[in-house]
C-alpha cells in the first residue's frame, strides 16, 4: 500500500493556562491510498513548531512509498537528510512516521506489533512510576507521596531530588537531596526500587559527589548523571562509582546507541521510540542491548500513543528491566485518546492486543483538541521538571 497523506497534528488541552509539553502532544496521521490509517507520535518539548515543520518536510520523502517497506523508507530519508544523526527534529519526525507505518502494517495483517516482531515474552509489562512527586519539596512531601504510590502496587519509583541545582551542586544541595532520598527509602522499605533522576544536568565532579552521598540508600540506577554529550565525564563517573547507570532517551540512532554500549557506559538502556527512529530502529536497540548484557527500560514520558508502542516493544524484550510510566499522571484527555485501554494495575500493564499499536485512537477527540503549533513560554522551571519541584528550602 502506498502512502497518500501524512499529517502532523498538535493536540493541546483546553484547560486554562499556557500550554506545556505535558499538556501537548504531536500526533502524526498516515493514510494510504486505499484509506488505511495509522498513528504515530513525535516529541514536543520546547520545539513544537520546528518538529511540526520537520514532519512536513520528512513527509515529502514518504508520500508515494510503500508503507510496508519501513527499512527502505527509513534509509531513504537517512540518505536524503544528511544530518539525521545530528538532528533531533528530523529524528523525531521520521520516528513518528515510522510508528504510524507499523500501525498500518499491523492493521493490514490483523495483528498487534508484538506478533510481527517475534511474539511477546510476557503477558504484563512491569512499570515504574514517574510524575508522582509533583509539588514535593520537603522530605516529608516525598515520603507521603511515595507511600501513596506503593499502595497502588508500584514496586519502583523514579524521582529527581536535586531541586534547582544545575551543572554543580554544593553541600546544601547534597544535604537536601540526601534527606529526600532517605525519606523515600524509609517510607517504602527495602523491597521497592528507587531510581534517581539527574536529568543529565551535572558535571562529573558533582555527579560523583551525589553518587557517594546516595549510594547507601541502594538506588537501582542513576539516570543521566552527567550531561548527555559529556563522554569523558561519564567515563570519570563510571570509574568512581559502582552504581548502575541508566541513559538513552536522547539517542537518535542505533550507531550512537552502540557507542554507549560498546564503551561500557550504560547498564540500563532507555531508548525512546519517538526519537530513536521509531519501531524500525528501536527493535535494533533491543538486540544491541541484549547481545551486550544491557537491560532495557524504554523512555516513555510524552503521550498515550508513545506509551502504547512502548508496551508493544516491551512485550518482545527479553532483557526488559521496567517500562517508565506517566500514564497515571497524564491529563485525562491523554488517556481518553486511547479510550483508557492501557490502565496500570498493581504496577503492571496488560499488553494490548488490537491490530497495529494495540489500541484504538479516538479520532473525534483529536478533532476537538486540534490546535495550531505555537511556541511555548520559557519559565524559570524548565519543561522537563515535574511541576512544583524546582524549589529548594532552608536547612
Domains of the chain, by residue range, sit at 3-111, 115-356
Superfamily for domain range 115-356: Enolase-like C-terminal domain (3.20.20.120)
Cβ-contact 6, 63 below 8 angstroms: yes
Interior angle at CA 206, CA 390 and CA 168, nearest 5: 50
Q: What is the pLDDT of residue 19?
A: 56
Residues of the chain with pLDDT under 70: 14-21, 393-395
Reply yes or no on whether 299 is catalytic.
yes
Quote the distance between the C-alpha of residue 263 and its chain's center. 23
Whole-angstrom distance, CA of residue 336 vs CA of residue 197: 28
Pairing type for strands 370-371 and 3-12 reads antiparallel
Q: How is domain 3-111 classified at the architecture level of CATH?
A: 2-Layer Sandwich (3.30)
Catalytic residue among 75, 199, 227, 348: 199
What is the C-alpha to C-alpha distance for residues 29 and 11, in angstroms, rounded to an integer? 12
Quick check: pTM over 0.85? yes
193-197 and 221-223: which strand pairing?
A: parallel
Three-class HEC string of 27-38: EEEEEECCCCEE
Cα–Cα distance, 100 to 94 (Å, whole number):
10
Q: Which of 198, 227, 228, 299 is catalytic?
A: 299
Degrees, nearest 5: CA angle 312-45-349: 25
Contact 176, 219 (CB under 8 A): no
DSSP state of 352: P
Q: What are phi and psi of 2, to 5 degrees?
A: -90, 145
What pLDDT was estimated at residue 23? 85
What is the predicted pLDDT for the residue at 395?
Answer: 40
**What is the three-class DSSP state of 2?**
strand
Within this chain, domains 3-111 and 115-356 share the same CATH topology: no
Residue 293: phi and psi, rounded to 5, are 55, 40
Find all residues with CB under 8 Å of 383, minimum gap 6, and list them: 20, 21, 45, 46, 376
Strands 24-32 and 295-296: unpaired
Q: Tell me the three state secondary structure of residue 368.
A: helix
**Per-residue cell: 393:** 528550602
pLDDT at 343: 98
Task: Answer yes or no: 198 catalytic.
Answer: no
Residues in the chain, how many? 395
Cell numbers linked to 331: 491529563
> For residues 320 and 296, is the Cβ–Cβ distance under 8 A?
yes
Amino acid at each position: 500500500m502506498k502512502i497518500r497523506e501524512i499529517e502532523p497534528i498538535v493536540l493541546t488541552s483546553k484547560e486554562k493556562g499556557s500550554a506545556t509539553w505535558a499538556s501537548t502532544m504531536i500526533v502524526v496521521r498516515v493514510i494510504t491510498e486505499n484509506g488505511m490509517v495509522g498513528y504515530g507520535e513525535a516529541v514536543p518539548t520546547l520545539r513544537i513548531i520546528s518538529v511540526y515543520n520537520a514532519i512536513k518536510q520528512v513527509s515529502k520523502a514518504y508520500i508515494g512509498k510503500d508503507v510496508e517497506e519501513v527499512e527502505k523508507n527509513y534509509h531513504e530519508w537517512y540518505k536524503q537528510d544528511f544530518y539525521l544523526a545530528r538532528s533531533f527534529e528530523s529524528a523525531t519526525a521520521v520516528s513518528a512516521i515510522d510508528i504510524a507505518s507499523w500501525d498500518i502494517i499491523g492493521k493490514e495483517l490483523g495483528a498487534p506489533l508484538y506478533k510481527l516482531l517475534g511474539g511477546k515474552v510476557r503477558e504484563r509489562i512491569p512499570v515504574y512510576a514517574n510524575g508522582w512527586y509533583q509539588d514535593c519539596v520537603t522530605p516529608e512531601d516525598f515520603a507521603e507521596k511515595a507511600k501513596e504510590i506503593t499502595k497502588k502496587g508500584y514496586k519502583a519509583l523514579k524521582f529527581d531530588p536535586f531541586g534547582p541545582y544545575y551543572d554543580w551542586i554544593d553541600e546544601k544541595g547534597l544535604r537536601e537531596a540526601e534527606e529526600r532520598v532517605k525519606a523515600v527509602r524509609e517510607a517504602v522499605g527495602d523491597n521497592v526500587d528507587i531510581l534517581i533522576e539527574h536529568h543529565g544536568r551535572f558535571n562529573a565532579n558533582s555527579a560523583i559527589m551525589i553518587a557517594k552521598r546516595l549510594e547507601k540508600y541502594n538506588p537501582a540506577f542513576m539516570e543521566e548523571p552527567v550531561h548527555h554529550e559529556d563522554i569523558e565525564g561519564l567515563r570519570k563517573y563510571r570509574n568512581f562509582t559502582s552504581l548502575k547507570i541508566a541513559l538513552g532517551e536522547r539517542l537518535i540512532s542505533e550507531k550512537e546507541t552502540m557507542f554507549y554500549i560498546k564503551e561500557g557506559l550504560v547498564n540500563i538502556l532507555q531508548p525512546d521510540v519517538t526519537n530513536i527512529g521509531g519501531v524500525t530502529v528501536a527493535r535494533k536497540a533491543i538486540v544491541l542491548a541484549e547481545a551486550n548484557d544491557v537491560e532495557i527500560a524504554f523512555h516513555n514520558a510524552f503521550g498515550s500513543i508513545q506509551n502504547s508502542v512502548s508496551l508493544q516493544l516491551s512485550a518482545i524484550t527479553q532483557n526488559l528491566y521496567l517500562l517508565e510510566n506517566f500514564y497515571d499522571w497524564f491529563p485525562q484527555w491523554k488517556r481518553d485518546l486511547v479510550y483508557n485501554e492501557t490502565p496500570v494495575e498493581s504496577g503492571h500493564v496488560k499488553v494490548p492486543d488490537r491490530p497495529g499499536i494495540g489500541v484504538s485512537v479516538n479520532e473525534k477527540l483529536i478533532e476537538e483538541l486540534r490546535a495550531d503549533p505555537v511556541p511555548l513560554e520559557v519559565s524559570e522551571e524548565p519543561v522537563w521538571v515535574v511541576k512544583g519541584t524546582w524549589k529548594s528550602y532552608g536547612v
